[in-house]
Homo-oligomer: A and B are copies of this chain.
Amino acid sequence: MRREIGEQGAAVAATLEEVRRQAGRARAAMSGRRRILFVARGSSDNAAIYGRYLVETQLGVPASLAAPSVATHYRARLDLSDTLVVSVSQSGRTEEIVEVQRWAAVHGAATVAISNDAESPLATEADVPLTTQAGTERAVPATKSYTSQLAALAGLAASLDGGESLWPLLDRAAAEVSRLEEGEAGVADAVDLLAGSDETLVTGRGLVFGTALEVALKLEETCLRPVRGLSYADLRHGPIAVVGPGLTAVVVAAQDGPMLGPIAELARDLAGRGAKVLAVGGDAVLAAAGACHVPGPDLPEPVAPLALVVPGQLIVESLARRLGLDPDSPRGLSKVTTTDPA
């Protein structure tokens, strides 16, 4: 896992280049369509959440996430002739996702498949296969395949009408991934904090909400502890009532954007309730609100997620070792995931 964290800058750069070569095909697939529907599970779903916010906020195209069972179990007949369906699966072989993509095509959608295997059924059956350039990922927890998915999603957005201005930001993002994968600042303190914590939640909002969910999922899968990922808003809307001493709250944020002020205020509120706050990314104000701070990328919010997850991965990998666990092969997980056992 540690080595693959270090391969992400190169994987992101190569993926952006590959997607850019396919930009014309992606643009053609979207032509005449009004909305984008993402299909994914697990880490890929966390990537797709970023894709949804990016497409709605930067392109002004309505986007949403599919409920796969609507296709696979209820076999609903939806008119998707106005829709571009974007399926995301590292292996390209997760049966449920392949089935939803087939269903979408039958119901009129144009299809884009983001996978790490150009020979997979998901890729070969799609109108536009976008192949992430992560290479073989040996560790079970997704790292470089996840950041490559983010790169492919952002590259796809940059390929569509209104997204062109994202390209130069994405070149910067690849460089920031490379820089942060060597980052040690704050990681040891963060691991101390988390190792001594009874209960952990991770929160974020808007464009970085998917990052918060991904850090939560990685913490849980790799460190074998229950960890909750919650949006800022859902946390404020009720569960904040149960926050108190014993809880460590990981708060992730970009360095700018409309969410930064509110999330720093949330961090202060959580600290005021006795929680230990670990701030990842953000600015000096957020850093000051936390008991511990791990710096994030120097990137504007729309592309920050590509690199903001990297400090989170470093924390997870290091925490797993501290706890005497094997971060490369956590108990009970396999690489090609299955929703319904055969």
Contact = CB atoms under 8 A, between A and B. Distances in A.
A259 B73 contact: yes
Contact of A69 (B60, B83, B206): B206
Contacts of A52: 67
Pick from A65, A217, A224, A332 the residue with the most CB of B within 10 Å. Answer: A332
Interface string A201-235: 00001100000000001001100111010000110
B41 A60 contact: no
A70 B53 CA distance: 7
In the complex, the count of this chain's copies comes to 2
Contacts of A224: 241-242
In this complex, the interface size class of chain A, counting residues with CB under 8 Å from chain B, is 35 or more
Interface string A264-299: 010000000000000000000000000000000000
A220 B236 contact: no
B241 A74 contact: no
Contacts of A80: 62
A45 B41 CA distance: 21
B226 A199 contact: yes
Interface string A61-86: 11011011110011011111011000
Interface stretch (A18-26, A131-139, A148-156, A334-342): A334-342
B220 A239 contact: yes
A324 interface: no
A322 interface: no
A300 interface: no
A339 B217 contact: no
A311 to B, nearest CB: 21
Given A224-B242, A236-B338, A62 B34 contact: no
Contact of A41 (B42, B226, B237): B237
A76 B64 contact: no
A77 B59 CA distance: 9
Contacts of A220: 238-239, 242
A258 B68 CA distance: 13
A176 B194 CA distance: 47
Nearest to A301: B74
27 contacts: A34-B79, A34-B82, A35-B35, A41-B234, A41-B237, A42-B234, A42-B237, A52-B67, A56-B67, A56-B76, A57-B74, A60-B76, A69-B205, A69-B206, A69-B233, A69-B258, A73-B206, A220-B242, A221-B239, A236-B339, A237-B337, A238-B333, A240-B332, A241-B331, A241-B333, A242-B332, A262-B340
Closest 3 CB pairs of A and B: A241-B332, A64-B64, A73-B258
